[in-house]
Structure 1
Amino acid sequence: MSDLDALTSSAYSQALEVIASVEPRIADATRKELADQRGSLKLIASENYASPAVLLTMGTWFSDKYAEGTVGHRFYAGCQNVDTVETLAAEHARELFGAEYAYAQPHSGIDANLVAFWSILAHRVEGPWLEKAEKKNVNELTDADWESLRKELGNQRLLGMSLDAGGHLTHGFRPNISGKMFHQQQYGTDPETGLLDYDVVRAKAKEFKPLILVAGYSAYPRRVNFAKMREIADEVGATLMVDMAHFAGLVAGKVFTGDEDPVPHAHVVTTTTHKSLRGPRGGMVLATEEYAPSVDRGCPMVLGGPLSHVMAAKAVALAEARQPAFRTYAQQVADNAQSLAEGFKSRGAKLVTDGTDNHLVLLDVSSFGLTGRQAESALLDAGVVTNRNSVPSDPNGAWYTSGVRLGTPALTTRGFGHDEFDNVAELIVHVLQNTQPGTTKAGAPSKASYVLADGVADKVKDSSAEMLDKHPLYPGLDLA
C-alpha cells in the first residue's frame, strides 16, 4: 500500500467512525454502498467513480457557508474563501474547454439548463424589451409593464431533440418545466437509421423559428455536428444551446474536436460535472462573453445559495481532467463503447443506430421479447447495473421502454478494456436470452414482471467477480 493509499484509507475510516458516533445506520449504509459498487458491473451511462480527492473535498466546512451572488459581489459577508473556490473552478473550466466564460454554481444538470434558458430569455427578450420601454431594469416596471413583459417571456419557442430519439427531459418534454416554460416542438431521428438528419432539423427550424435551438443528448449513441447545428440556428435567428452533460468528458479529453466540439459553436453550453467528467454531482454553464452577464445572475435568478463545498470539488475534478492521463481515459471510454457494441452485434443483439461512436450503447431488448424494465431488473439480479431507456418511436413508452442504455465511463475508470467489455456483452446477452416475460395476477402478459432461469444470476455474478477482482475499485481503501 502506498503512502497516499494509507492516508486515504485512514481518512475514510476515521470519517465513518465520526459519522457512526451520531447515526451508525448511515455509516453502515455508506460502507454497504461501497461494497455494492465494488461488486457490480456499473454500466449506467450517467454514473462514474470520482477520485478520493474529489470525494473528500465535499466533506468540509465550505458546506456551512452561504454565498449568494457571484465572485466579488455576494449578498453575504465573509465569502473571500468561497470567491477563491469559485474562481478556481471557473478558471479550470475555461482552460479545459476553451470557453470564454464559465459558471460553476449550478447544483445539477437540470439547474444548469434552467440557468441557461432564463439567461437566454433575459438576454434575448427581457433586455431588448426594457430598452424599447426605456426602462433600466424590472424594478421600474408598472404592473401593466410587468404583465406585458411576462407575456413576452412566456411565449418564446424552443426546439429540442425528442425524448425517444435520445434527447433529455429538459429539452422540451412537456411534463418537464422546459415543456411548460416554452412553446416547444421537437425534432427526432431518421426512422430507418436512428440518425440525426440535419436537413430535417433545418426544415423544422425554418418552419417553427425557435428562439432557442437545443442540441445534445442523453441517449443518442452517435456524435453530433455542432457546426451544422450552429448554421441552422443562425439561419433562423436562434440561440444555439448545447447540453453536453453526457459527453463532456469526451470533449474535455479531446475525443470530440472540430465540428464535434460544441464549445466553439454554441452560444451557451451546459453540462454536469459527474458522468464522463468524473467529478462531483453538479452542473456548469459555459458561454460566450455576450451571454456571460446574464448567466452570471444565475443565483438568485434561478438558483439558491451555491454549494461551495461542491464547487471546491468541481475545481479539483477539473484540475484532474486537465492532466494528460485524462485524455487517455477519455479515448479509452470511446474505444470501450465500440468494443461493447461489437460484442453485442457479434452475438446477434440489436442496437439503436447499429452501433456507437461516443460513450454509450442503446440496446433494443424487444428482440429478446422483453421490455426495458424487465431487462433492467433481470440484469440487476445478475449484478449488472443498467437503466431502461426509450428507443425511437418506442411502443412501450417512457416508463416500461423497449431499450436498455449502457455506458462505459465507470468501468473504464476501473481499468476495463476491450476483452472485458466483450465479456460484459456476452454476460448481458446470456441474461436476456434466459429471461422470460412474466404475467399479471390475472394471467395477462406483464410489462414489468419477469422470470430469470435458475442459476443464471449466480453464474453471471461469478464471471463478473473475476473481472472486478482484477480491477478493484478504490484500491488500497480498506474500511474493514
Structure 2
Amino acid sequence: MSNAATHHPALAAADPEIAALVGAEERLQAETLRLIPSENYVSAAVLEASGTVLQNKYSEGYPGRRYYEGQQNIDQVETLAVERAKTLFGADHANVQPYSGSPANLAVYLAFAKPGDTVMGMALPMGGHLTHGWGVSATGTWFRGVQYGVRQDTGLVDFDEVRDLALAERPKLIFCGGTALPRTIDFAAYAEIAREAGAVLVADIAHIAGLIAGGAHPSPVPHADVISTTTHKTLRGPRGAMLMSRAEHAKAIDKAVFPGLQGGPHNQTTAAIAVALHEASGPAFRDYAHAVVANARALADALLARGFDLVSGGTDNHLILMDLTAKEVPGKIAAKALDRAGIVVNYNTVPYDPRRPFDPSGIRIGTPSLTSRGLDDTHMPLVADWITRGVAAAGRGDEDALKVIRSEVAELMAAFPAPGLPL
C-alpha cells in the first residue's frame, strides 16, 4: 500500500493523483536536506489544526462583531490566537486574519498611506522584500518607493545614509527587515530615524519571528509602530500572517485588514496559528530558536573555512547569503545541482550583483528546517562539505558526484525524522 493510501485514505480514494503527489512530497521532505531559510517543518498538531472542520465556517468581522451567525466556537479560536500573539511578543494589539505576508503589508499601506505617497524600504537586490515599495510590486506602482541598501564593502546597513534619505524624502512609512538579511536588525536605530522623519516604522519580521519569540533576536516591539510577520518560517506555524501594533494603531490596522482588503478569515489557519503560538511559548521552542542561530553560525564558519564568500562575512541569525562569483559557478546552476544532490536551496541575488535576478550570483541557505529535525552544530561541517562538493560538481557537470551526495544526505536524514511527517 502506498504512503498516501495509508496516511490519507479519504484523499487517496477520492483523488489518487493528488494523493500520490502529496505522498511524493512527504518523501521528498523526509529524504532531502532542506536549507531554504523561509521553509520549516510544522508539528503534527499544527498540521491537524490546518485540516479541521473550521474550514467550513465563514466569519467576516472580528470576535463579537461578526456578520455571520454560528460563531460561538470561531470567536474563541480567534481570541485565543490573538491573546497568545500579544503575550508571546509583548504587543499591545494583534490581528491574526491576514492571509499571508504580502496582504499583511498591503494592509499597513492602506492603514497609513494614500496612493502616491512616498514609502521607504530596503531595495530588493540588497535583501529587501517586494512589498517594501519595489517597482514591480503593487507597492511600488501605487506608491512612490525610495530604497536604501547596504554598503558594498561590509554588506551592512549604513544608518547615516538611511537617515539622510529619510530626511530628504520624508516617507509616510519606513520598512525594516527583508528576505536575505543575515545580520541583526537594529530596530532602535530605525525608530530614531523614523521619529526624526515623521514616518511610521514598520518592522517586517517574517523571517525572524521565531527567533524573536525564542529570545534569539532582539524584539522590535519597543521600537516599531507596526510589526508584520508571516506565521510560518522560523515561527513553525501554518502559511498565514499577523499584524501587531501599538494600541493607538489597533483600529486602523483592523479596519485595513477587514473590510479594507479581505473578507472572511481562514479559520482553520487561525486555529493552526494559535497552536503554533502555544508551542512557541514553551522552553523547548526557546532552545530551538537559539539552536537555529548556533547552527547557522557554525555552518557559516565551516563555509568560510572552505573558501566561500558570505555576504557581510557571516550571520547573526538563521540565514546565510553566499556569493559564488569566486567559485565561478552561477547561483542558479549551483542551486539546481544541489537540488539533484538532495540539498534544497534557492538561487538569490547578492548586493551589487552584476548578474540578472533570474540568473544571479548567489544562493541563500538557512538552518530552521534542519534544526527542527534535531541536527546540531556538530553536523554543520558535514553540511558544508556537501555544499562544497555539490558546487564543485556543478561546475564540472559531474552528475555521478551529485548522486553520491544525495545518498549520503538521505542516510543522515533517515536518522533524524522530521516533525509532522507521517513517514
Question: What range describes the TM-score normalised by the shorter chain of this pair?
Answer: over 0.9
Partner of 1:150: none
Deviation at 1:231, TM superposition (A): 0.3
Partner of 1:387: 346
Deviation at 1:74, TM superposition (A): 1.3
State yes or no: 1:65 paired with 2:57: yes
Partner of 1:241: 202
State yes or no: 1:278 paired with 2:236: yes
Correspondence 1:25-174 to 2 at 5 A: 25-121=17-113, 153-174=114-135
Q: Which letter does structure 2 place at the counterpart of 1:286?
A: M
Structure 2 distance, partners of 1:424, 1:395, is 28
State yes or no: 1:453 paired with 2:398: yes
Structure 1 distance, partners of 2:345, 2:184, is 22
Structure 2 distance, partners of 1:65, 1:120, is 31
SS of 2:248 mapped into structure 1:
coil
State yes or no: 1:291 paired with 2:249: yes
Partner of 1:269: 227
Structure 2 distance, partners of 1:334, 1:237, is 34
Deviation at 1:466, TM superposition (A): 2.9
Structure 2 distance, partners of 1:14, 1:341, is 40
Query: Are 1:416 and 1:471, in contact at CA under 8 Å, matched by a contact in 2?
Result: yes
Structure 1 distance, partners of 2:84, 2:226, is 17
Partner of 1:470: 415
Rg larger for: 1
Deviation at 1:275, TM superposition (A): 0.2
Query: Are 1:172 and 1:182, in contact at CA under 8 Å, matched by a contact in 2?
Result: yes
SS of 1:67 mapped into structure 2:
coil
Partner of 1:7: none
Query: Are 2:393 and 2:402, in contact at CA under 8 Å, matched by a contact in 1?
Result: no
Cα shift readout 1:357-393 (whole Å, capped 9, x = no counterpart)? 0110001111121221111111111111001111001
Deviation at 1:26, TM superposition (A): 1.4
Q: Which letter does structure 2 place at the counterpart of 1:186?
A: Q
Structure 1 distance, partners of 2:123, 2:216, is 25
Q: Which runs of 5+ in 1 are unaligned?
A: 1-11, 122-152, 437-450
SS of 1:293 mapped into structure 2:
helix
Deviation at 1:15, TM superposition (A): 5.7
Q: How many residues align?
A: 419
Which of 221, 228, 244 pairs up with 2:189?
A: 228
Q: Which letter does structure 1 place at the counterpart of 2:410?
A: A
Query: Are 2:295 and 2:380, in contact at CA under 8 Å, matched by a contact in 1?
Result: yes
Structure 1 distance, partners of 2:49, 2:7, is 13
Deviation at 1:398, TM superposition (A): 1.7
Q: Which letter does structure 1 place at the counterpart of 2:221?
A: V
1:476–1:390 CA distance, 2 compared to 1 (3 A) = closer
Structure 2 distance, partners of 1:91, 1:399, is 41
Partner of 1:359: 318
Partner of 2:387: 428
Partner of 2:146: 185
Structure 1 distance, partners of 2:420, 2:224, is 40
Query: Are 2:120 and 2:175, in contact at CA under 8 Å, matched by a contact in 1?
Result: yes
Partner of 1:327: 286
SS of 1:361 mapped into structure 2:
strand
Deviation at 1:13, TM superposition (A): 6.7
Q: Which letter does structure 2 place at the counterpart of 1:57?
A: A
Q: Which runs of 5+ in 2 are unaligned?
A: none
SS of 2:202 mapped into structure 1:
strand
Bigger mean CA deviation after superposition, 156-165 or 68-77: 68-77
Query: Are 2:341 and 2:402, in contact at CA under 8 Å, matched by a contact in 1?
Result: yes
Partner of 1:148: none
Percent identity at matched positions? 43
Partner of 2:329: 370
Which of 149, 166, 176 pairs up with 2:137?
A: 176
Deviation at 1:17, TM superposition (A): 0.5
Structure 2 distance, partners of 1:452, 1:108, is 39
Structure 2 distance, partners of 1:414, 1:106, is 29
Deviation at 1:274, TM superposition (A): 0.4
Query: Are 1:431 and 1:452, in contact at CA under 8 Å, matched by a contact in 2?
Result: no
SS of 2:375 mapped into structure 1:
coil
Structure 2 distance, partners of 1:48, 1:294, is 32
Structure 2 distance, partners of 1:120, 1:55, is 35
Cα shift readout 1:10-37 (whole Å, capped 9, x = no counterpart)? xx97661111121011111111111000
Partner of 2:360: 401
SS of 1:299 mapped into structure 2:
helix
Query: Are 1:167 and 1:218, in contact at CA under 8 Å, matched by a contact in 2?
Result: yes
Partner of 1:128: none
Cα shift readout 1:258-310 (whole Å, capped 9, x = no counterpart)? xxx11211000000000000010111100011110011121221123200000
Partner of 2:11: 19
Partner of 2:177: 216
Structure 1 distance, partners of 2:23, 2:413, is 18
SS of 1:21 mapped into structure 2:
helix
What is the TM-score of this pair, normalised by structure 2?
Answer: 0.97
Structure 2 distance, partners of 1:75, 1:181, is 31
Q: Which letter does structure 2 place at the counterpart of 1:369?
A: E
Structure 2 distance, partners of 1:223, 1:304, is 36
Query: Are 1:161 and 1:214, in contact at CA under 8 Å, matched by a contact in 2?
Result: yes
Q: Which letter does structure 2 place at the counterpart of 1:309?
A: Q
Deviation at 1:175, TM superposition (A): 0.4
Deviation at 1:465, TM superposition (A): 2.3
Partner of 1:132: none
Query: Are 2:26 and 2:421, in contact at CA under 8 Å, matched by a contact in 1?
Result: no
Structure 2 distance, partners of 1:230, 1:374, is 40
Q: Which letter does structure 1 place at the counterpart of 2:312?
A: T
Bigger mean CA deviation after superposition, 169-178 or 313-322: 169-178
Cα shift readout 1:437-462 (whole Å, capped 9, x = no counterpart)? xxxxxxxxxxxxxx621421122112
Structure 2 distance, partners of 1:84, 1:32, is 36
Structure 1 distance, partners of 2:77, 2:92, is 19
